[in-house]
């Protein structure tokens, strides 16, 4: 039976996805508002500080996307175990995921330490380099805590309990705002640190979030049946290897998309501080808008994985995927309209610099144009993660984001001299191609699942398509 809006099961699935995703969206908005707080504080400190935070943030998030995406193997793995009634296996899987998260965090700390030496060779404007270096030196100390936090958060999300993502997300925001201001501008005995102070404040916030989440998981009755911390397990390489086989392609896919934006920021950083500051404002607003479809995509991952674990077949999986798509189309309509009509008002929150504000307002019009393709490609990728179909989507993402998006953006922005506007046209093209390719991939993969039958969670690889 085809999925239709009149189907009561589809309407029920839409409601379930909306309820599951609401805390995720709120939590992601809180995370996005952390970038907003950093940008506003940096903008008040000065245009050079804002540009330094823009470049430092780009270099921070670029390598972070690999471990963050790799750990996205946890929600579909947990949701499939939960859907198949194999809850006793959740705790052991989680403890192995913690080992993986710790290793990824330590490795990323070392990489960020080395990355500061790349600012000069990247061609970043000389006036931006000192502040960006100080920002990276501060924020790198929080990376191990952040990867552990992602692991714990993804476990909770995969078990259909997304409220902690919202609570701890806004908790971090409450901590960062005063601490970031105090360390950036100086307060009492604290010296003025500018961009470096914002980086250090972010690191301290990450440790607070991770420790608070660990205490919550250990004490909450909801998680007691899973015995998450009742024993110590040494690394079990087959389990870690299974997580990596599912997660690494996700990590690469997330990196392909995110790096399109990050490298765009770095290339625009070569044009000067006004262009870099304007791009930081526009991309920060666009990132806030993206938190909504990103949260819906994560909820769809869980619902698709749960349907697969329960053995609901192609119809059940598509119902879960299309429910998320219906919600995304609605949210992106609102986001696009707000950016189109209110871009000038938004820019005034960030800066009083007339040159920066004019360019940033123009770039927000481009951001309005890619709301639909950005939401659709994010949702499609999330649905495919629920099927553990991650390898081919990785290749499709690489072709769309880099083969189309970056090559066109660099050609227009740098080669033909269109500047930031040309780079943003490349973003629109890359996201549009990704939306088409990943959407078609989900239709193909979901159609080949087969008839309704019991589908053990650990056999989900059988549904991957070559």
The 10s digit of each residue's pLDDT in 308-363 is 877 888 888 899 999 999 999 999 999 999 888 887 888 887 777 788 888 888 88
Is the confidence at residue 100, as pLDDT, over 70?
A: yes
Radius of gyration, CA atoms only, the chain: 21
At residue 257, the pLDDT reads: 74
**Cβ-based neighbours of 234, under 8 Å, separated by 6 or more:** none
In terms of residue numbers, what domain contains 286?
8-461
Average pLDDT over residues 208-233: 90
Mean pLDDT of all residues in 410-423:
81
Say if residue 7's pLDDT is above 90.
Answer: no
Two structure tokens written together for 163: 């409220």
Predicted pLDDT of residue 215: 94
pLDDT digits over 12-51, tens only? 889 989 988 888 888 777 776 777 788 788 878 887 888 8
Q: How far apart are CA 144 and CA 203, in angstroms?
A: 10
- According to the model, what pLDDT value does residue 450 have? 62
Q: What pLDDT sits at residue 49? A: 85
Please check whether residue 341 lies inside any domain of the structure: yes
Q: Indicate the pLDDT class of residue 463, thresholds 50, 70 and 90.
A: very low
Q: At 172, is the pLDDT very low, low, confident or very high (cuts 50, 70, 90)? A: confident
Give the per-residue pLDDT at 462: 32
Buried b (16+ CB within 10 A) or exposed e, 172-198: bbebbbebbbbbbbeeeeeeebbbbbb
- The pLDDT value recorded for residue 213 is 94
Task: Please report whether residue 377 resides in a domain.
Answer: yes
Better-scored residue on pLDDT, 24 or 466? 24
Asked if residue 3 is part of any domain, the answer here is no
- State residue 205's pLDDT score: 93
- Count: domains in the chain: 1
CA distance 436 to 396: 10
Q: Is residue 152 part of a domain?
A: yes
pLDDT at 5: 58
Residue 2 binned pLDDT confidence (cut-offs 50, 70, 90): low
Share of the chain above pLDDT 90, in %: 26
pLDDT at 283: 81
Out of 121-130, 289-298, 390-399, which region has the weakest mean confidence (pLDDT)? Answer: 121-130
Is 428 among the domain residues? yes
The confidence score (pLDDT) of residue 152 equals 94
pTM for the model: 0.74
Residue 466 lies in a domain: no
In a domain? residue 444: yes
Q: Pick the residue with more confidence: 194 or 71?
A: 71
**In the predicted structure, residue 71 carries a pLDDT above the cut 70:** yes
Q: Which of 63-67, 210-214, 216-220, 460-464 has the lowest mean pLDDT?
A: 460-464
The answer on pLDDT for 130 being more than 90 is: no
Torsion of CA 30, 31, 37, 40, to 10 degrees: -110
Q: Could you report the per-residue pLDDT of 351-384, keeping only the tens digit for each?
A: 777 888 888 888 899 889 889 999 999 999 999 9
Give CA–CA dist 385/400, Å, rounded.
18
Between 292 and 459, the more confident residue is 292
Is 60 exceeded by the pLDDT of residue 464? no
């Amino acid at each position: 039976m085809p999925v239709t809006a009149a189907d009561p099961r589809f309407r029920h699935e839409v409601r379930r996805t909306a309820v599951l995703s609401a805390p995720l969206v709120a939590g992601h908005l809180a995370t996005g508002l952390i970038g907003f707080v950093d940008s506003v504080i940096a903008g008040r400190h000065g245009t050079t500080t804002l540009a330094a935070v823009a470049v430092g943030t780009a270099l921070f998030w670029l390598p972070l996307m690999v471990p963050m995406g790799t750990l996205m193997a946890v929600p579909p793995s947990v949701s499939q175990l939960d859907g198949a009634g194999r809850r006793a296996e959740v705790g052991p899987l989680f403890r192995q995921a913690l080992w993986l998260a710790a290793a990824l965090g330590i490795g990323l700390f070392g990489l960020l330490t080395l990355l500061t030496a790349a600012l000069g060779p990247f061609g970043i404007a000389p006036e931006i380099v000192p502040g960006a270096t100080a920002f990276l030196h501060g924020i790198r100390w929080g990376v191990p805590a952040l990867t552990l936090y992602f692991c714990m958060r993804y476990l909770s999300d995969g078990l259909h309990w997304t409220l902690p993502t919202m609570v701890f997300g806004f908790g971090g925001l409450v901590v960062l705002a005063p601490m970031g201001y105090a360390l950036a501008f100086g307060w009492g005995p604290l010296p003025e640190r500018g961009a470096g102070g914002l980086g250090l404040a972010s690191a301290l916030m990450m440790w607070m979030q991770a420790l608070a989440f660990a205490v919550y998981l250990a004490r909450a009755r909801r998680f007691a049946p899973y015995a998450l911390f009742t024993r110590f397990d040494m690394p079990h390489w087959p389990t870690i290897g299974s997580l990596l086989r599912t997660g690494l392609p996700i990590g690469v896919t997330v990196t392909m998309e995110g790096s399109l934006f990050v490298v765009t920021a770095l290339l625009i950083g070569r044009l000067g501080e006004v262009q870099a500051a304007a791009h930081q404002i526009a991309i920060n607003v666009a990132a806030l808008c993206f938190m909504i479809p990103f949260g819906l995509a994560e909820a769809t991952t869980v619902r698709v994985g749960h349907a697969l674990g329960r053995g609901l077949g192609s119809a059940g999986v598509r119902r879960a995927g299309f429910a998320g798509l219906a919600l995304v189309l609605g949210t992106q309509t609102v986001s696009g309209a707000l950016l189109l009509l209110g871009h000038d008002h938004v820019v005034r929150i960030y800066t009083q610099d007339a040159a920066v504000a004019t360019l940033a307002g123009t770039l927000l019009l481009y951001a309005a144009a890619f709301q639909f393709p950005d939401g659709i490609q994010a949702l499609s990728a999330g649905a495919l993660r629920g099927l553990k179909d991650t390898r081919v989507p990785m290749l499709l993402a690489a072709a769309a984001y880099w083969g189309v998006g970056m090559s066109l953006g660099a050609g227009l922005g740098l080669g033909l001299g269109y500047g930031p506007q040309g780079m943003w046209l490349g973003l629109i093209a890359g996201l549009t191609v990704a939306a088409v390719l990943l959407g078609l991939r989900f239709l193909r993969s979901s159609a080949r699942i087969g008839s309704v039958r019991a589908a053990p969670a650990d056999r989900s690889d059988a549904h991957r398509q070559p």
